[in-house]
Amino acid sequence: MNKTIYSAILFLLLTSSGAFSQVSDKYYLLKAGQFYDSEKNTFVKNQEVLIKNNLVIEVGNQLTIPTNTEVLEYGNGTITPGLIDAHTHLLLEQKINEPLATSAMLVSPETRVLRAAKFARSYLESGFTTIRDLGNSGQYLDLEVRNAINKGYISGPRMLVSGPIIGSMDGQIFGLPLPDFDRISKQEYSMVSGVEEAKKAVREHIARGVDIIKILAIGNRLVLGLDELKAIVETAHSERVKVTAHCDRDWAAHNAIEAGVDGIEHAYGFKTATLAKMAEKGIYVVPTYGSTETIRLYRELQNEPYTEEDLEENAAHWKKWIGELKSAGVTIVAGSDAYFDLEISRGDSAKQTIWGYADSGLTPEDVLQTATINAAIALGMRDQIGVIKENAFADIVVFEGDMKTGIKKSLFEVKMVMKNGKIEFLK
């Protein structure tokens, strides 16, 4: 074929397919009566947010807006950064009276992934634009879900994932015959013994593409030794990957703290001296506590009678621990540990932790800070998510009403969810 004719045909094909056409920028202007500034930890009235494509470009009053900007006004609503749940388990669902191993034993990997797609969507519609999935997800099924969201195959929040939890030789599953215990534990965890196995497990996780290393400072009974913990942390940090530790007992946290973990998950009833050391080292805590409403749901699903006083008594220790964390100056990061089937959406189930923080005496500002900027910093995404400011990702939620005066009500009345500049939910 003549070279000139070939070039002309190629040009026509490219231009007709839009290869040389320019996609116009998309602008939004958001307006509402209240705006939560997570960096200053304060509410500001009548702010405007200008968004270009996937980024925030300006926040203020009476902004100059480009032609063809879509203006969204929400009256008495509250604009906040997209919520972040720093501890969840999308690949796991457990009925109230089931053992932890049930999902791993009876549900196929394919079904777990499909079920996780439903949970991911519910998170997004509830106002969570980022979640961190921390194991109980088979052999890297969480990576499959994360990658599917990133490729647009399914709809969900931005995901950071850990892959299988790294722990000692007993994992977290119990009550199974030995052959089943061994099989299921190896499916759900990376169980290590010794420094070299610990290092190898971390390297394997990072090679597979995880975003965070999660370890069991203590499993059912066994703990990782200090030398193993140090090897894990040093290996992960050398690759610029953070480490967070499951630890629900004070005495088991000491080696993890000394080894230099970045965060502690759960932290039930830690002593004042332990919290002081964590604050000094800058180790955050993800207190996966519930709320009086969570306890109510548990009781009703089990047909157990209760009084309001019963609920308060059950929640008293959570409220006490939140106060102690706050007093110690430890950074509190919102994380739900949501995996029980409470017969509500997974996203709304995750919000019960945030409700619980409010119920425990934190101010609305401090509550929102745990689920926005505090979580963003813990996840290594400072200035990108958890804030609404110039050049941050346009991850934004609008809630009905004034969250400063009615956070527990507004939290469950989502008007709009935007993730990375795209409106994902609009009521």
Report the 3 state secondary structure along 176-223: CCHHHHHHHHHHHEEECCCHHHHHHHHHHHHHHCCCEEEEECECCCCE
Tell me what percent of the residues of the chain surpass a pLDDT of 90: 87
Q: Residue 198 is encoded by which pair of tokens?
A: 């610990």
Q: Which CATH number fits domain 83-382: 3.40.50.2300, 3.20.20.140, 2.60.40.3080, 3.30.479.30?
A: 3.20.20.140
Full-model pTM = 0.93
Here the tokens at position 277 are 């050391």
**Contact by Cβ (8 Å): 86, 335:** yes
Both tokens of 4, joined, read: 């000139």
For 26-81+386-427, the fitting CATH number among 3.20.20.70, 2.30.40.10, 3.40.228.10, 3.30.450.260 is: 2.30.40.10
Q: Which residue shows structure tokens 């920028």?
A: 25
Beta bridge partners, 79, equal 35, 398
SS3 state at 174? coil
Outline where DSSP puts E strands in 5-91: 27-31, 34-37, 42-45, 48-52, 55-60, 70-73, 78-81, 83-88
Please, where in the chain does CATH 3.20.20.140 lie? 83-382
Task: List the pLDDT tens digit at each of the 427 positions of the chain.
Answer: 555 555 555 555 545 554 444 669 999 999 999 999 999 999 999 999 999 999 999 999 999 999 999 999 999 999 999 999 999 999 999 998 888 888 888 999 999 999 999 999 999 999 999 999 999 999 999 999 999 999 999 999 999 999 999 999 888 888 788 888 888 999 999 999 999 999 999 999 999 999 999 999 999 889 999 999 999 999 999 999 999 999 999 999 999 999 999 999 999 999 999 999 999 999 999 999 999 999 999 999 999 999 999 999 999 999 999 999 999 999 999 999 999 999 999 999 999 999 999 999 999 999 999 999 999 999 999 999 999 999 999 999 999 999 999 999 999 999 999 999 999 999 9
Between CA 417 and CA 261 the distance in angstroms is 33
CA atoms within 13 A on the CB side of 189: 23
| Token reading at 76 | 């008495």
In order of 72, 170, 369, the CA distances from 317 in angstroms are 42, 28, 22
Q: Which of 128, 33, 117 is nearest to 87 (CA)?
A: 128
Range(s) within the chain of domains with CATH label 2.30.40.10: 26-81+386-427
Q: How large is the greatest C-alpha to C-alpha distance in the chain, in angstroms?
A: 88
Which H or E run contains 122?
helix 109-125
Please state, in angstroms and rounded to a whole number, the distance separating the CA atoms of residues 67 and 70: 9
